[in-house]
Amino acid sequence: MKTIIEPFKIKSIEPIKFTTELQRESILRKAFFNPFLIPADDVLIDLLTDSGTSAMSAKQWAGIMDGDESYAGSKSFYRFEKTVRDLTGFHHIIPTHQGRAAEKILFSIVGGKGKWIPNNTHFDTTRANVEYSGAEAVDLLNETGKHPELKADFKGNMDTAALEKFIQDKGAEHIPLCLITVTNNSGGGQPVSMENIRQTKKILQHYHIPLFLDACRFAENAYFIKLREKGYADKSVREIAREMFSLADGCTMSAKKDALANIGGFLAMNDSALASKSRNLLIVTEGFPTYGGLAGRDLEAIAQGLEEILDEDYLRYRIRSVEYLGDKFSAMGIPIVQPPGGHAIYIDAKRLLQHIPPHEYPGQAVVSEFFRLGGIRCVEIGSVMFGKYDTTTGSLISPPMELVRLAIPRRVYTQSHMDYVIEVAENVFKNRTNLKGFRIIEEAPMLRHFTAKFENLV
Ligand code: F0G
């Protein structure tokens, strides 16, 4: 069969609101052209993020009713702990209210001034939490990952030679741990190979540096390994995921992605001393270690979601539906990060809008046009999100890529929604030479993309 259908049927629906182009222009102006400031009710197709936006299954909803809300020792915690432990093999499982809370706890303990944290590419909250602790976050992505148009199987891989050199330069004693983000969200949702995780681990082991996975999209990564890496075609995704975790000493996880939950996360590790410090901090900032900032019902939904995410019919549909969107974009000439990633399509705004320089935010122009023409909400991952000002000259230092991410929520939209997105993209493409850049008129000192206000350049 050529058509890979959604491997579920719909039991409960949410209406979405249609607007006119005129209405959307006014909505955009009111939101100062920042998609984070648009009320969700005014959005037709919401591709802002795949985080916390999954549709839960009937069994997850049943788990919600079954949640045990005891303050200490809830049965929902024990189910959650067993599920995560069986999957990851880590001994200490610490629930948090979402991924960044796990990051905050981890880096409050291991970070600090004079420390360095390498990663293939830090996600923005991870970078922010590392930097907030006083440590420095360093991205060591392999060369192929830096070229959006290049097609390669594992563009999320760590540059292991650069990692080894980095450790020798800085000194292992200043590197409390190393992260690998699977899949590499900020680098286009690209997977990391098992071989690369193994190599990274080997180098780190030599210097006694622990390896942590940023495991938000571990199942999508594991499925890519099954599809693309030699020796894995006949292994189950669960086995592959287990092997990925077995190479690491711990992980941070946002359950809002590959646990198919609307909230939640965890920090997991084998090191008992680190776990003990983490739990002490958890009690101060999140909650008692058997709920950690979540309700018992959330722990149930996560445990169930972690079972469902490993269903290979689901993963086949998931990866194929993202690829479908990417293939159609490419066919009409829209430059995207190749090949399509696990959870999103990333438009290369630098190539699409060559007349708009990075300091006029070409990605923001694409985001704004998708909403104006079709009520589709997506997000810039470029100079708005990662741009920094030179402390002496005040000029903008841009990241290497100007991307726009269309993230696909899990199990939410059908193929006809995607076909509509493709039609709108066609119109964005046709109108590309008329698009203008933007100026920022208000911004916060950290994570400015969430609240920045923009003005259209004329
Ligand atoms: N790490 C990665 C790779 C992520 O993509 C995210 C969140 C986090 C950590 C933080 O998790 O949101 O639960 O605190 N990414 C979302 C996104 C927000 O839209 O990509 P969180």
At 372-396, the pLDDT tens digits run 999 999 999 999 998 989 999 989 9
CA-CA distance, 46 to 61, in Å (whole number)?
A: 22
Amino acid at 184: N
User: Probe ligand 1: pick from 182, 257, 263, 386, max atoms within 8 Å of CB?
Assistant: 257
Q: Tell the residue nearest (CA) to atom 1 of ligand 1.
A: 123
Q: Tell the residue nearest (CA) to atom 2 of ligand 1.
A: 123
CA-CA distance, 417 to 423, in Å (whole number)?
A: 10
Domain locations along the chain: 21-50+311-456, 58-308
pLDDT band at 1 (very low <50, low <70, confident <90, very high): confident
Answer whether 21-50+311-456 and 58-308 agree in fold. no
User: Probe ligand 1: pick from 100, 179, 190, 266, max atoms within 8 Å of CB?
Assistant: 100
Could you please state the CATH topology (level 3) that the domain comprising 21-50+311-456 is classified under.
Answer: Aspartate Aminotransferase, domain 1 (3.90.1150)
pLDDT band at 186 (very low <50, low <70, confident <90, very high): confident
CA-CA distance, 37 to 29, in Å (whole number)?
A: 10
Task: Determine the atom of ligand 1 nearest the C-alpha atom of 48.
Answer: 19
- Determine the distance separating the centroid of ligand 1 and the alpha carbon of 376, expressed in angstroms: 21
pTM: 0.96
Task: Determine the atom of ligand 1 nearest the C-alpha atom of 254.
Answer: 13
Q: CB of 157 within 8 A of CB of 193?
A: yes
CA-CA distance, 384 to 376, in Å (whole number)?
A: 19
**Domain 58-308 = CATH 2.60.120.620:** no
Per-residue pLDDT, 4: 86
Amino acid at 418: M
- Determine the distance separating the centroid of ligand 1 and the alpha carbon of 132, expressed in angstroms: 17
Amino acid at 16: I
- Determine the distance separating the centroid of ligand 1 and the alpha carbon of 123, expressed in angstroms: 7
**What's the whole-number mean pLDDT along residues 424-444?**
97
Q: Please check the confidence at residue 337 and state whether its pLDDT lies above 90.
A: yes
Percentage of residues in the chain having pLDDT higher than 90? 95
CA-CA distance, 382 to 159, in Å (whole number)?
A: 21
Pocket of ligand 1 (CB under 6 A): 49, 51, 98-100, 123, 125-126, 181, 185, 214, 216, 254, 256, 265
Q: CB of 91 within 8 A of CB of 272?
A: yes
Give the H/E segment covering residue 40: none
Task: Determine the atom of ligand 1 nearest the C-alpha atom of 181.
Answer: 3
Q: Tell the residue nearest (CA) to atom 4 of ligand 1.
A: 123
pLDDT in tens, 80-133: 999 999 999 999 999 999 999 999 999 999 999 999 999 999 998 999 999 999
CA-CA distance, 356 to 64, in Å (whole number)?
A: 48
**Of 438, 428, 264, the residue nearest 345 (C-alpha):** 428
| Neighbouring C-beta atoms of residue 226, cutoff 10 Å | 21
Per-residue pLDDT, 445: 87
Q: Please check the confidence at residue 27 and state whether its pLDDT lies above 90.
A: yes
User: Probe ligand 1: pick from 213, 214, 254, 386, max atoms within 8 Å of CB?
Assistant: 254
DSSP-assigned letter for residue 274: H
What does the block give as tokens for 172?
Answer: 């292992």
Amino acid at 246: S
Percentage of residues in the chain having pLDDT higher than 70? 100
- Determine the distance separating the centroid of ligand 1 and the alpha carbon of 393, expressed in angstroms: 32
Average pLDDT, the chain: 96
- Determine the distance separating the centroid of ligand 1 and the alpha carbon of 185, expressed in angstroms: 8
Task: Determine the atom of ligand 1 nearest the C-alpha atom of 343.
Answer: 20
Strands, E assignment, 97-194? 116-119, 136-139, 178-181
- Determine the distance separating the centroid of ligand 1 and the alpha carbon of 263, expressed in angstroms: 11
Per-residue pLDDT, 432: 97
Per-residue pLDDT, 282: 98
pLDDT in tens, 258-271: 999 999 999 999 99
